[in-house]
Amino acid sequence: MSQTLGAIGFDADDTLWHNERFFKLTQERFAELLEPYADTSDLDARLMQAEMRNLRHYGFGIKGFVLSMIETALDVTDRRVPGGVIANLIAAGQDMLQHPIDLLPHAKDAVRAAKVHAPVLLITKGDLLDQERKLAQSGLGELFDGIEIVSDKQQHVFARIFESFGGATAGMMIGNSMKSDVLPMIDAGGFGVFVPHDLKWDFEEAQPPHDHPRYAEIPDLGALSEHLRQVT
């Protein structure tokens, strides 16, 4: 059964361009810096706990990640971490904020293919300045009919965004996060298309709704054009 789509939304980080791998590299550097001063066997778990606590204060993005690293460093060393280590963590975060954008395969073609069917929206969360920088460097900005940088992705957020395009029931969201892109869009009444990425942040893990008629998974963005032809 064909469906007329009012708008198609794309996630940004690890859907259109690489992102998580820079967090992983910085996290490895974090462990190297702290190894002389603390037991790092559970460092990843301690950092994750700090990130979860701090989401309500700092939101998503690199700045909150760096502050959580500093908090964790103070915690695991009983506040004895040298100032030089803190300086290196800040420098690592600054490097992340300046890293060139690397588009994922088929990203530009996928956005162009979606535009054939409906207006396309970029819907991403994270730090405003950093996401604006990445979008500008990506070369994809001019393709989008709307850009939404939000503090979190929840059902009511998608309902608000798609309201101007015939409502969420006429919308589709495409992304690599089951928790943030797919499930809340389906809960809002729309289509959720999961595009898996090799690297995952544990926070974004969730069970896929395999039996839901508005759920789909494609192997990569190169398969989006055919999926849209089937839906519309």
pTM of the model: 0.93
d(CA 109, CA 100): 20
- Decide if pLDDT at 22 tops 60: yes
- Over the chain, what is the mean pLDDT? 95
Model confidence over 125-159: pLDDT tens digits?
988 999 999 999 999 999 999 999 999 999 999 99
At 19, is the pLDDT very low, low, confident or very high (cuts 50, 70, 90)?
very high
What is the distance between the alpha carbons of residues 113 and 118, in angstroms, rounded to a whole number? 9
pLDDT band at 214 (very low <50, low <70, confident <90, very high): very high
Distance CA 100, CA 107 (A): 16
Q: What is the pLDDT of residue 200?
A: 78
pLDDT at 3: 81
d(CA 131, CA 145): 17
How far is it, in rounded angstroms, from Cα 177 to Cα 112?
22
Quick: pLDDT tens for 43-80: 999 999 999 999 999 989 999 999 999 999 999 999 99
C-beta separation of 225 from 110 below 8 A: yes
pLDDT at 185: 98
Sheet holding 146-150, edge to edge: 146-150, 120-125, 7-10, 171-175, 191-194, 215-217
Going along the chain from its start, the domains and CATH numbers come out as 7-18+101-231 (3.40.50.1000), 20-97 (1.10.150.240)
Query: What is residue 1's predicted lDDT score, i.e. its pLDDT?
Result: 54
What pLDDT sits at residue 112?
Answer: 98
Q: What would the DSSP string read from start to end of 174-230?
A: EES-IIIIIHHHHHTTSEEEE---SS--GGG-----TT-TTEEE-SSGGGHHHHHHH
d(CA 109, CA 55): 33
Reported as a single tens digit per residue, the pLDDT across 82-131 is: 999 999 999 999 999 998 999 999 999 999 999 999 999 999 998 899 99
C-alpha to C-alpha distance for 63 and 201, rounded to whole angstroms? 16
Identify the sign of the CA torsion 204, 208, 212, 215. Answer: positive
- The secondary element (H helix, E strand) that includes residue 146 is strand 146-150
What pLDDT sits at residue 165?
97
